[in-house]
Structure formats: structure tokens, C-alpha cells
Structure 1
């Protein structure tokens, strides 16, 4: 009997849905319908001969078999992506590339991506900068960065919108704002697109607010929210496990909509190392 080969596309849907906490969101990111993702998951369970997900309240959680498969799926996907990039490069690239990213990505998928890139292209020197958007576009103008990702276009005419992410209220699980009370917000000081989105939504909803805690680092914001100093408007990527993405209706808060992720480049024609890293970063953004 021939061994069953697991489908890479199905494994990617499986891993991405669990990473995002929603297979509907995974379907949207991958350009598929939710029903197509459901069929993929059913096929995956048939391939491994085990139930991978089970209902727990309104959520789907991994079974023991699902946890084991998820660990292997991540490794398989990393090897798949690394092999593809290695064959494309075959050690041809060399030079220097400088990239800037928001803190949300620097604490999640970016370090692994840069590690794989350096392994595939050992002759390329990579410098990564984690900073606020305004500082990064200034660095682009000065030639200190080749490529940068920022939240919002920052009114830059050459900025390219490459993705959109839903903004969520992040706070303690079960948090609810009492009607008539003043909401304590934890956020970066302005200019901050997340802070602006939250304030605009609160003002439209007639909800009083105060900026209770500011920090130059995302880690500082998470620490303040964990300590109960307020709630923060942010994307769910990188959210600490002790905090929850709040349902706006249940929490008595307004919906925050989405935020644009913009790409900025220093030159209209990038050097090959910068172009290759840009391509890999955009691929990573597209499937998350």
C-alpha cells in the first residue's frame, strides 16, 4: 500500500486558520471560500485517519491528534518555503539589504523569516529595524532603509497598500465597558493609526475616553493591559495568551474596522537582494 501524501495547500489552510483563530479569516487571506476550507479540513482528517478539531462551546479546538499534526505542519511548511526559496536563489544573491517593520511583526513571524533568508542567501547582509512608521519613512527618504512596512500610508504618494488587518480591542477576557463610564485606553502616543481609529470610533459612539498609558514599545502596551490599566486597539497577531480579542458588542465597545498595511521602497528599482526579501515578506504578509 502506497503512503498517503499530505497536501501542502491543505496543511497551510489548517495552520493559518489556527494561527488566526478563525478558518473564515484563513479563507479570506487565502482567497478561498469558507466551504472550500471546510472541505480541505475534512480531506485532511480523512488523510490522517483522525479527528483533528472538536467543538468547545462556540469555538473549535485541537484534539491531541490535531496538536501533533499542527507541529509537523509548521515544520513541513517551513521546509517547503525554504526549499522553494533556496532553488530560486542557489547562492546567487549577495550584497546588503535594510528592512523596517512594525513591532507587531518583529515579535511574531519576522525573525524566523530573516533567519531562513540568511541561511538561503549567506552572502547577503540583512539589517532589520523595528520602529514607528514615521521614523521608518524618514529612513526610507534618507536611504537608510531599502524597504519598510507601516500601518497606514502616512500620506505617502508612492506607498503601496499590500494588506488590510482587522483592528481588535485587546483586553482581559470577559472585559465589559460600563455605559456612561470613561474608557481607559492603552496606546502609543500620536501619531498612531490604531489610537486614531479607536478615538474616532469612541467619539462617534459618544463614549468618553482617556489615554491612560503610553509606551514606545508594544511589550509595554501588553504589560499595561495585562496589569488592568486599560484596553488597547491592535491587531491580534502577537497578542499575549493571557489577553483576549474582545467581541465589541459583548464588551460594549464600538467596532474599529480595518487598518491598511503599506509598503514603502527607497528606489523604484531595488537591488536583487532587497527585491527578493521584499517578495518573501509580502508572501508572508499575504498568508497571515
Structure 2
């Protein structure tokens, strides 16, 4: 007699995905309204069902095993299909529009995933994404234009409402050329000293990242000059890769041609972190806007967890 197929528990899969997205099963317990012991039982049940370990110890936390990585992709698709079925049958279809404002950092690392998942769940909702600098997005929020906007908060800003992640600020320079890498038997060569005044590639003012760079350099007594200015992130990346200057940003979405600079090796001052926050506009309670905000927050928490100091 053929063995009966294993039916994965959708509830358990949702716990699994939520824990990975939040970077903590303790946070998943809070989000899902369950006790930590109940979450542990669910994870053991899932491992028993698939017959493979899904999680392993990594420092003080947990990391996915190879079977866990594989299951995560299937779990997301199963949950999307489940949610789409429930939404189609049990509730009226959402319609209307969502107007989103976001910085250039997330157009390739978070937005495509969110748009694809949201379109599958709610094909009747139109999403308009407006990519701009932080200062412009804040002005548009004050004018009541976007329904949702991703903005950066300076260290010490009050409140945690809408907080998605804390991302470290780093100095960014070109990646070392392969020919300069020392053989394994030799210590790596010291990077050449950065010129003074320090050439910078920055957005024009007003810009939170520009101010953070110049304030840190001024406080450290390091002379600087703006060697390249661009209104777009792609222009900054190209200028830094070409060696025209260094810049300051978070390491999220960094192109392979660039690398974070070690402050100890480059004689540059240390930097704080920034908080990424999802702010709702006047239509924030609209069902389509609220659902898109939830999906966007979860996806960004997942895509930034490797570089984020999560709140």
C-alpha cells in the first residue's frame, strides 16, 4: 500500500515564515499571539513532517539549514495561494489604489517582491510607486500625497511607530581589485591612505546622508571636499566605483563593485545607525493601503535582516 501523502499544516508554515521574517521566533510568538513553548512545538512538528532539521544554532540565534531554505520558498508560495483563496472566497475583492513613496535604496531589493505578491492577492488594486530622496518624501507626506512612505529617522528620533529596521551607516569605497589581494600565506596589504581633503560623492543638500557625513568628518577634524554630486543613487555608485570619492550610506543593496570601509583601516570616524520607518498618510486605514503596508513591512524586515540591528 502506498504511503499517504503528508499534509503540511498551514498554521505551522505561517509560524515558520513569520519567525524567519522577523529574525526571531520569540517575536513571532508575540506577533501571532502564541506562547514560545507553543511555537517550539510547532517547529518540531514541521521538522517531523518533512523529516529534516530546518533550523540550526548560529551564535546566539538560529539560522536555516539547507532543507530549511528550500522549504521557506515553498512555504511562501503556499501561504500566498492560501491567502489568495481565502481573500477571493470569504471577502470582497479589494480595489482602488495605493500611492507609495520610497527611497532609491529599496527599488531593487524589496519593492519587486512586494509588488508581485500583492498583485497575486489583489489584482484589482493599482499601485503607484514614487521613488525620491528622503527630504522630498517628507515634503510629500506633509502635503498629503502618498498613502505610504519609507523614510529615514535620525538617531534619537522619538517613537517607534512604523519602525521596520535599524541599519548601520557605513563609509563606502570601491572594492579592492583582485590583483591586490595577497596570497593566503601573506597578510592582506594595508589599503592606501585616503587623500586629504577627503573627496566625497554625495547628493546635493538637503540630504540626511550628506549631513551625517560632513558632521562626522567635521567632528573628527578631517578636511573634506565634495568631488562629485548626483541626484540619483546610481550616479553615486558609479562615481565611487570609479574612485572619484567615498560616500556614506547603509550597506543594504550595495553593488558588488563597492564595499564598506573599515574605519580602523581608513582612518574615518565611526558612524551611528539610522531607523527605517514606514509612515502612513491620510488614507492609511484604507483596507488596500493597510494590507500593502503589512506586506511591505514584513518583506523589508526580511530583506534587511542581514544588515539590520532590528528593533
TM-score, normalization by structure 2 = 0.67
- In the other structure, the counterpart of 1:104 is 105
Counterpart among 200, 203, 216 of residue 231 in structure 2: 216
In 2: Cα distance, 1:29 partner to 1:286 partner:
15
Structure 1 pair 196–176 and aligned structure 2 pair: CA distance change class (3 A): farther
- In the other structure, the counterpart of 2:130 is 129
* Aligned positions of 1:1-288 closer than 5 A: 70=69, 72=70, 75-76=73-74, 78-79=76-77, 82-83=80-81, 85-86=83-84, 89-90=87-88, 92-152=93-153, 160=161, 162-163=163-164, 164-174=166-176, 176=191, 178=193, 181-267=196-282, 269-287=284-302, 288=304
Kept in 2, the 8 Å contact 1:177–1:253? The answer is no
Unaligned runs of 5+ in 2: 30-42, 57-64, 177-189, 305-311
Deviation at 1:180, TM superposition (A): 7.3
Structure 1 pair 233–136 and aligned structure 2 pair: CA distance change class (3 A): same
1:203-231 Cα distance to aligned partner (Å, 9 max, x none): 11111111111111111111111111112
Structure 1 pair 94–235 and aligned structure 2 pair: CA distance change class (3 A): same
Deviation at 1:172, TM superposition (A): 2.1
Deviation at 1:123, TM superposition (A): 0.9
Q: How many residues align?
A: 258
Q: Secondary structure at the match of 1:169?
A: strand
Deviation at 1:257, TM superposition (A): 1.0
In 2: Cα distance, 1:96 partner to 1:275 partner:
11
Structure 1 pair 11–96 and aligned structure 2 pair: CA distance change class (3 A): closer
- In the other structure, the counterpart of 1:57 is none
In 2: Cα distance, 1:77 partner to 1:202 partner:
47
In 2: Cα distance, 1:29 partner to 1:243 partner:
35
Deviates most, 277-286 or 94-103: 277-286
Deviation at 1:255, TM superposition (A): 1.3
In 2: Cα distance, 1:73 partner to 1:244 partner:
31
Choose 1 or 2 for highest CA Rg: 2
Kept in 2, the 8 Å contact 1:12–1:73? The answer is no
Deviation at 1:74, TM superposition (A): 6.0
Kept in 2, the 8 Å contact 1:176–1:252? The answer is no
Superposed CA RMSD: 4.2
TM-score, normalization by structure 1 = 0.71
Structure 1 pair 226–179 and aligned structure 2 pair: CA distance change class (3 A): closer
